[in-house]
Structure 1
Amino acid sequence: MRRIDAIGITLGVFLAGGLAYVALQLVGIDGQNAGIWSQVLLVAGLMGWLATYLFRAGGKKMTYHQQREEYEKAFLQKRLDELSPEELAKIQAEIESGN
């Protein structure tokens, strides 16, 4: 994520909180209760985001892990493609013999 993306998300969350406050006041809730409920919505949203983050990090579904896995597969495939048939047969024989 780029820095500008993080700034945009932060501004979006800030604006959403303000809009929730105004919307709650428009429905007839007084200013103090509207402030409390808009904060409750913000905290609930942040807790939901945190839960999804922890789930992705725990399951290694993060972009970094996926990119690293794809790189490792491509690297190993390239090394395999560079082997001569004799080297490939030698490695296969070593694997089959259990060494």
Structure 2
Amino acid sequence: MRRIDAIALTFGLFLGGGAIYLLFRAIGFDNLSAGIWSQAILIGGLIGWLATYVFRALTKGMTLNEQMQNYKEAVLRKRLEEMTPEELAQLQAEIEADEAAATESQSDPS
């Protein structure tokens, strides 16, 4: 997020809070009640946004994590496409040997 975006978002939230306050005043709330309820709505929205952020962080659904995973997959896919048939056969043999070793170590009780 750019600095100007953060400033615009903050200004928008400030104006939104004022609009909510004016709405409560127009409905018939007194100054104190309108201020308390408008602040409660803004804090509730902030807590809701924070909850979604924490959820995305814990499930690793953040944009940077997804971009890094997509980049790694693209690099591996490109490397596989550039390999010769002999190199692919050698890689396949190594994978099969590793899988056989892993299976053997899992079934070995010692």
Is TM more than 0.5 here?
A: yes
Larger radius of gyration: 2
Aligned length: 99
Q: Given residue 67 of structure 1, which amino acid in structure 2 is its aligned partner?
A: Q
Q: Distance in 2 between matches of 1:63 and 1:4?
A: 20
RMSD of the TM alignment (CA)?
Answer: 1.1
Normalised by the size of structure 2, how large is the TM-score? 0.84
Instruction: Kindly report which structure 2 residues correspond to 1:28-67, keeping only aligned pairs within 5 A, or say none.
Output: 28-67=28-67
Runs of 4+ aligned residues of structure 1 deviating over 3 Å after TM superposition are: none
Structure 1 counterpart of 2:21: 21
Structure 2 counterpart of 1:91: 91
Q: Distance in 2 between matches of 1:17 and 1:51?
A: 20
Q: Given residue 42 of structure 1, which amino acid in structure 2 is its aligned partner?
A: L
Output one character per residue of 1:16-51: Cα deviation in whole Å (capped at 9) or x when no partner.
100011111111110011111111011100000001
Q: Given residue 57 of structure 1, which amino acid in structure 2 is its aligned partner?
A: A
Q: Distance in 2 between matches of 1:74 and 1:94?
A: 22
Normalised by the size of structure 1, how large is the TM-score? 0.93
State the shift of 1:59 in Å. 1.3
State the shift of 1:78 in Å. 1.0
Q: Taking CA–CA contacts closer than 8 Å with sequence separation of 6 or more, which of the two structures ends up with the larger relative contact order?
A: 1
